[in-house]
Structure 1
């Protein structure tokens, strides 16, 4: 008998995988059962795999037959399918497959944030995984304060490769010591790749980081990984996916997280909700973050969160307020962090310029955007250009004003020196056909033909 799924809304892919594994079936067995029950002989295990990885959502026809062969209420699958569709289409950055894979993995992690998600490896002598090498992990984090991802992403990938090799060649006794380092290395590599504009590469690294953090038994680090991935999806125009990851991160990590991490994850929720048009949820998350802490204590925070302090959290609040259309209270905290470094100044300067545009202060918006543009050149961070692109779009209706003309001239002069994003990933997979028309499932959903 199939055990009932855990309560609460789920995404369809992880739910199907859970129900299948509970019966001890392979994807091939599920496909065979569906073919036998529905009379469609052409459904393959590859289509079942696409459903579980959320590369495709089955239609009413197959949802009905899935309910039959898995012995669950059809409403359960229909609700999960609707929630999956609510995520919307993947953003057009070429990262639909790693995005879907990370969303599915996040649901597995939420069910058990300490699950063994990274399988064992053969044992043989290997490199020491103690942070030695050309750049130690802590040093690479500090370099990220000074140098943009365009210059550091390669070094982050190299550091991650060393951690992977160390774990794959370690003895069983060394594995517990090396897993946390692998998780932190993968999280940092993902962050640097995201800063360099390689969204798909970053999502791949975050997926490895989440597996390693869970296997290491560190829900707090796992939550930080998902929070970082949420921040990435927010920046590439996918607030719905970002909101799912941020809420999953907070739900899975809050019991183990430090006050600063809980506040950070709530800010991830707030920004994604605000950009996704969910003002009530954004305000609720901001209020909850303020109740947790507005000034993290360094001694109570993990070493990978050394950069988080009161002014940074205040600036995050200001950013969310601009996204909510409340620029006046956002001005002071956004101004306060603009001299912390070129990338910080460029990122928050872009949000401040956007706030000035909401207030109708075009000249001040152009002045701040111009400073942020030059800071983006100094930073070497394609991510720092995100809000400036939005500012430029919103300036289109003010093209006749002198301040706008000056800003456009500056942008044209700076264009050759702006950091370029990383290369796009490979092409997406092709769609498969499921075959001819078939009979309806008994008492379930209806449909004239099987659909993907």
Structure 2
């Protein structure tokens, strides 16, 4: 069967084989002695191999059917002949999404057979042009659940590393030890400190670069204890990179990174840190879902976090247990459920009060009294959207947070200021709303955080209802002029 498509090599709109996106001239020049059969990729053998990303089977069968040499196939897909030989021999696997996209494009492999969820209006054989949408996909809660449970049944989990941007080649260094893991942990801590002070925009690229280098350590030789630490350290760095992506509102990247982090942390069952980390990653997913105005999804993630915290070998810390309930409170508040919100807030306070210096893990240094006040105030702020009687209590707690955040936590302070201004509007204190709103503009403008800027837009929406007042009109002008992070 023949159709007219654009040749993937010469770009001419001419007749090409249905199972290989090349015109006859380019196919002969590339070394094809015979065309691929029209049903080549839909046979059971190929479906299984493609679903598992077993390109050794795919390459071997393509060459058998077409007469291509290893060198000729390598040239087509942008690999070396040695790499093709290693892949066919089972010594190496292809993980990079760029290479997979190239194979899909050259040979017109339907992207769905490779396990990617794509826009059905697009060409089936052009994975390179597809954008896997991790924000709008309906099965994301299912995917996160599978990762948290350690399931091997979801087709995307085993190739999550391939979805990281610009995956590097495996390392030549073979051995790693505790000092290497110490360095990775220090890197993650450094990025967290930078984010709290300045926002995620300026260090996001650096975090991705570090993650790319750390992710390939999965092939290194090390002791079991180092391996467990490596999984946790890699997951924590990926989680931090996901948060930085979220802070600049690259939500697709954040979800990919968090899912990779969750799946990696799940592999470290022997590590006491793994349960805490998995739970926090799921709570980050809930945080994002709330930001995207999806409270029901957020509640699903928060409840999954709660279930994860009690179902693994090692318990979570009291700090994490307190945060679980704080996020659950946000979810109920966003859904307008005051009683459920208050119960979760009470349980969160109880858990936080039970924490002590002896049981608080080193990574939780940023969970201060101001941070806890911000969490509580945010629940009350969300409730006040539908039940204004909670606005005054929101003002009280958010004010404590703003006044208590240290200078090195400026991003944390800045993200609270717009919501505090909105809460003042809901109380009816317009003067305070304008004053705090201007302070919010000033604070957010110094940061690299699109998420903070989104809070300014929320403030502007509320301020628009009061723009008959000259001071509010001036505030709206300042909000409009604020940089987008």
Deviations 1:378-409 (A, max 9, x none): 12211112322112111222121012112022
Distance, in Å, in 2 between the alignment partners of 1:262 and 1:119 is: 31
Cα pair distance change 1:112/1:165, threshold 3 Å? closer
For the 8 Å contact 1:123–1:168, the answer to whether it is kept is yes
Deviations 1:89-125 (A, max 9, x none): xxxx995457545412332245469999768998963
Cα pair distance change 1:120/1:185, threshold 3 Å? closer
Q: CA deviation at 1:277?
A: 3.0
Q: CA deviation at 1:263?
A: 0.8
In the TM superposition, what are the counterparts of 1:69-88 in structure 2 within 5 Å? Answer: none
Cα pair distance change 1:113/1:361, threshold 3 Å? farther
SS at 2:201 equivalent: helix
Structure 2 counterpart of 1:332:
396
Cα pair distance change 1:209/1:45, threshold 3 Å? closer
Q: CA deviation at 1:337?
A: 2.2
1:396 to 454, 457, 464: 464
Larger deviation, residues 345-354 vs 333-342: 333-342
Q: CA deviation at 1:190?
A: 0.7
TM-score scaled to structure 1, two decimals?
0.66
Deviations 1:327-365 (A, max 9, x none): 112222211221424322221111111111111222221
Q: CA deviation at 1:297?
A: 3.0
For the 8 Å contact 2:391–2:423, the answer to whether it is kept is yes
Distance, in Å, in 2 between the alignment partners of 1:285 and 1:109 is: 26
Larger deviation, residues 174-183 vs 346-355: 174-183
Extract unaligned runs of 5+ from structure 2.
1-43, 49-109, 121-130, 162-169, 385-389
1:405 to 473, 480, 485: 473
Structure 1 counterpart of 2:11:
none
For the 8 Å contact 2:160–2:256, the answer to whether it is kept is no
Distance, in Å, in 2 between the alignment partners of 1:206 and 1:120 is: 10
Extract unaligned runs of 5+ from structure 1.
1-24, 30-43, 57-92, 420-452
Cα pair distance change 1:260/1:177, threshold 3 Å? closer
Structure 1 counterpart of 2:190:
139
1:304 to 363, 369, 392: 363
Deviations 1:24-67 (A, max 9, x none): x99x79xxxxxxxxxxxxxx9959x79xx8999xxxxxxxxxxx
Q: Does 1:154 align with 2:220?
A: no
Cα pair distance change 1:134/1:120, threshold 3 Å? closer
Q: Which has the higher contact order (CA 8 A, sep 6+)?
A: 1
SS at 1:151 equivalent: coil
Q: CA deviation at 1:138?
A: 2.3
In the TM superposition, what are the counterparts of 1:294-443 in structure 2 within 5 Å? Answer: 294=353, 296-325=355-384, 326-339=390-403, 340=405, 341-413=409-481, 415=482, 417-419=483-485
